[in-house]
Structure formats: structure tokens, C-alpha cells
A = this chain, B = another copy of it.
């Protein structure tokens, strides 16, 4: 890599920055794409934010996040589906082609039951997604989140849900943090290529030791993940999209965010 044409940054990566600050800083840094977390749109005229991003030639890669479909009761399930429809409408309003789904899980509920609720929930959103032409990207989450964040913990499980739904708007967001250990990684990534369903590729790193289950992700190169190898698999499968930097890190959020953004660019060139 010798440029930033495929570099995208998630607004949550530079959490201290508002959407207004983030978009200017990203452009100034020569970053090409942005994934907007929905919290960054709260209280905003969403279509206007979309215009501002387009005026700056920042490509809107996706919004984060929908999902959390599983629940114990039907009213909660219905509420989750409504929120996902809202996420689809917001994406369309912003001009984002895709919503990333953190699919959800309910502590104590059998994982296969949650997977069925996930598939049903996505299916319920598909008519609106078709109408607005918004893709839905299932992000398999690391098994340490199988209790309450996602019952979809491997690439194979994500591919299974996609097979079941069999719809061109349903695909996968592959995040190295979640899948680097996956026992069947290469085969399953290849399968996403054959089925034309790898919609997104997220990068960061796994710290040793990891001191927090949520907010101790590393910058690429700080941890143990062989990102170039996974990127090679992803590109070999035909993926031509962005490399999206999605880092939740209390450590980095405490630092100067301009320095962090500069470090992201260096790490992207050297360790991705």
C-alpha cells in the first residue's frame, strides 16, 4: 500500500470527535472513506450530514450499527426490528449503501434460537432494504461476545445465515478482531467471494494482554493479528472495498486524536 484510497475510518475510532470535526480531520489527513456510527447522527439533519460528507469527497462506506435482534419476548423482538428499519432509513438518508449488523444474543438463551431470531429479524427488514437499496452486513463477533452481543461467532455461521436468506442485499462484514482465530477462516472467506457477499473488511489488532473485553483494541501492528495475511485472503476472494479502521480503545481515546489519526495512517501503511 502506498496510498489511502482504500482507507476508511469509523467515527467511533476517534470517539472524542463530533461528526463535524471528524469529517474535516479525515479529509485533511487524506483519508478516503468514513463509516458513521449512528450515535454521531443523533440530533443532526442526516441528509445534510450526507451532503457535507459528499462535498468533502469522503466516501460513505456504511453506518454502524443495526442488529441486536434476539430477545425473550415478542414486543422486544418487534422493537428490535423497528430499530433496524430505522437504521436502514437513516442509512438511505445519509447516502450510505450499507448498515453493519451486530446481530445480538440473549444471555442464557440457546445460541441456535438466537440465530433463528437473527435470520427472521433480517428477513423482516429486507422489503424496506430493497425499497431503499441498502445492504445489510452481518458481522460475526468473537466468541467472547456470544453471551449478549452476537450468537454469530464464526464466518461459517455468518455464511449459513446468508445462505438461508439467500438475498443479494445480505452479506458479511469481516473484522480481523473477531475472526483472526477462526478455525475455518480461509475457506469461509473464499466462500464469501464465490457468493459475492463480502461487504466490508474491518481492521484493528488484538492486544496481549487484553485488559478490557470491549475497549482495549490495538492499532494495527500493536497486537498479534497477522492482518496482511487476512487481507490477502480477503482480496483473493475478490473483495475490492475499503479497509475500515475500527478501534475501540480507552488508551487511544485518552490521547491527542490528531496524533492517533497520524498513527493510524502509519500503521495502515506498515501493518495492514
User: Which residues of A are at the interface with B, using a C-beta cutoff of 8 A?
Assistant: 107-108, 110-111, 142-144, 146-148, 153-154, 156-157, 180-181, 183, 206, 208-211, 213, 223-224, 226
How far does the alpha carbon of A181 sit from the alpha carbon of B209 in the complex, in Å?
A: 22
Contact A144 B147 (CB under 8 A): no
User: Could you say which residues of chain B place their CB within 8 Å of the CB of A144?
Assistant: 142-144, 210, 213
29 contacts between A and B (CB under 8 A): A107-B208, A107-B223, A107-B224, A108-B224, A110-B226, A142-B144, A143-B143, A143-B181, A144-B144, A144-B210, A144-B213, A146-B180, A146-B181, A147-B206, A147-B208, A147-B210, A147-B224, A148-B208, A148-B209, A148-B224, A153-B181, A153-B183, A154-B183, A156-B183, A157-B183, A209-B213, A210-B213, A211-B213, A213-B213
Find the B residue at minimum CB distance from A112.
B183
A7 → chain B, closest Cβ, in Å? 23
Q: Which of A110, A206, A224, A226 has the most CB of B within 10 A?
A: A224
User: Could you say which residues of chain B place their CB within 8 Å of the CB of A208?
Assistant: 107, 147-148
User: Could you say which residues of chain B place their CB within 8 Å of the CB of A107?
Assistant: 208, 223-224
User: Could you say which residues of chain B place their CB within 8 Å of the CB of A223?
Assistant: 107, 147
Q: Which of A108, A147, A156, A226 has the most CB of B within 10 A?
A: A147
User: Could you say which residues of chain B place their CB within 8 Å of the CB of A181?
Assistant: 111, 143, 146, 153
Find the B residue at minimum CB distance from A108.
B224
How far does the alpha carbon of A125 sit from the alpha carbon of B68 in the complex, in Å?
A: 47
Find the B residue at minimum CB distance from A154.
B183
How far does the alpha carbon of A211 sit from the alpha carbon of B212 in the complex, in Å?
A: 7
Find the B residue at minimum CB distance from A211.
B213
A108 → chain B, closest Cβ, in Å? 5
A152 → chain B, closest Cβ, in Å? 10
Find the B residue at minimum CB distance from A229.
B110
User: Could you say which residues of chain B place their CB within 8 Å of the CB of A210?
Assistant: 144, 147, 213
Find the B residue at minimum CB distance from A182.
B143
User: Could you say which residues of chain B place their CB within 8 Å of the CB of A226?
Assistant: 108, 110
Find the B residue at minimum CB distance from A107.
B224
A114 → chain B, closest Cβ, in Å? 11
User: Could you say which residues of chain B place their CB within 8 Å of the CB of A110?
Assistant: 226
How far does the alpha carbon of A156 sit from the alpha carbon of B154 in the complex, in Å?
A: 14
